[in-house]
Amino acid sequence: MAISAIKLENVSFSYPANEGEEHKAVDGVSLEVEEGTFVALVGHNGSGKSTLAKLLNGLLLPTSGRVLVYGVDTADDKKIYDVRSSVGMVFQNPDNQMIATNVEDDIAFGPENLGVPREEIIRRVDWALEKVGMSEFRNATPFKMSGGQKQRLAIAGVLAIRPRVMVLDESTAMLDPKGRDEVMRVVKQLNKEEKMTVVHITHYMDEALDADRLVVMNDGRIVLDGKPEDVFAEHELLTKIKLGVPCVTQLAVTLNKAGMEIDPRITDEEALVEGLCRLL
């Protein structure tokens, strides 16, 4: 039977400043994520993605509804430690996530704070460095590294806490294409090899393509939720809420509209090339 990693039951959240107002940052969201799923979460600016992310590990508590992490209610203050260590968060700016002047110390910071014994910390640091492909950087200075390396280091720091779920809030947004690739490769590998549940918030539609599931938010609500190819097929709705589709899908849709026999649901380049070759 599938294990439920995350469950949101009719969750709403208003920031204190906005309380009493109609506007809710998260508005009646219900969502269940099975363990081991790679979920991509997209939505226009201000649609509530970051608020939702913070609700997942108890950084914010719902104004109404419940958030369950492996069955534990995030509002249960006796269990907040479990929730925080189950759901690791990686944020956007790599420079704001570095703590120490040395890579090893930086990764050790999380488990040290949790009172993990010394030998276990050493094991975890080794393991985390290996998982993000940075073993040879163990004595390097974080501040001198590239953006992609810094984000991989941030991921290693989160891994050392041994979370079961990893939430990345636009963690690739400030990186160059190479850095983005590095980070995406690491995260996909963690999902495959460690069966880690991943919630990846991104505004790059191309990064959502090979997720198991794509969730689209607009104005605090979930408006689409399904396999990426099915979600991208909702081209008109996506355009209405100011979201694009991947370049290749956009091209397929345009050609289809122009009367060519091209499947508008195409999400990979090879399929598009094949379709075009067939027409020729």
Q: Least CB distance from residue 164 to ligand ATP, whole Å?
A: 23
Asked if residue 184 lies in contact with residue 171, where contact means CB atoms within 8 angstroms, the answer is: no
Binding segment for ligand ATP among 10-18, 57-65, 135-143, 227-235 (CB under 6 A)?
10-18
Report the partner that residue 86 touches, choosing among ligand ATP, Mg ion, none (CB closer than 5 to 8 A by kind): none
One DSSP character per residue, 209-224 reads TT-SEEEEEETTEEEE
Show contacts with ligand ATP in window 67-86 (CB under 6 A): none
Dist CA 224 CA 95 (whole Å): 33
Dist CA 211 CA 42 (whole Å): 12
Strands 213-218 and 26-34: unpaired
Give the helix ranges, DSSP H, for 91-246: 103-113, 118-131, 147-159, 177-193, 205-208, 228-232, 235-240
List the x/- string, 14-53, binding to ligand ATP by CB under 6 A. Answer: -x-xx------x-----------------x-xxxxxxx--
Report the partner that residue 43 touches, choosing among Mg ion, ligand ATP, none (CB closer than 5 to 8 A by kind): ligand ATP
Report the partner that residue 48 touches, choosing among ligand ATP, Mg ion, none (CB closer than 5 to 8 A by kind): ligand ATP
Q: Which is nearer to ligand ATP, 72 or 173 (CB)?
A: 173
Report the partner that residue 51 touches, choosing among Mg ion, ligand ATP, none (CB closer than 5 to 8 A by kind): ligand ATP
Question: What angle do the packed helices 247-257 and 269-279 form, to 10 degrees?
Answer: 30
- The DSSP call for residue 68 is E
For Mg ion, which residue has the nearest CB?
50
Q: What are phi and psi of 107, to 5 degrees?
A: -70, -35
Show contacts with ligand ATP in window 46-65 (CB under 6 A): 46-51
Interface ranges with ligand ATP (CB under 6 A): 15, 17-18, 25, 43, 45-51
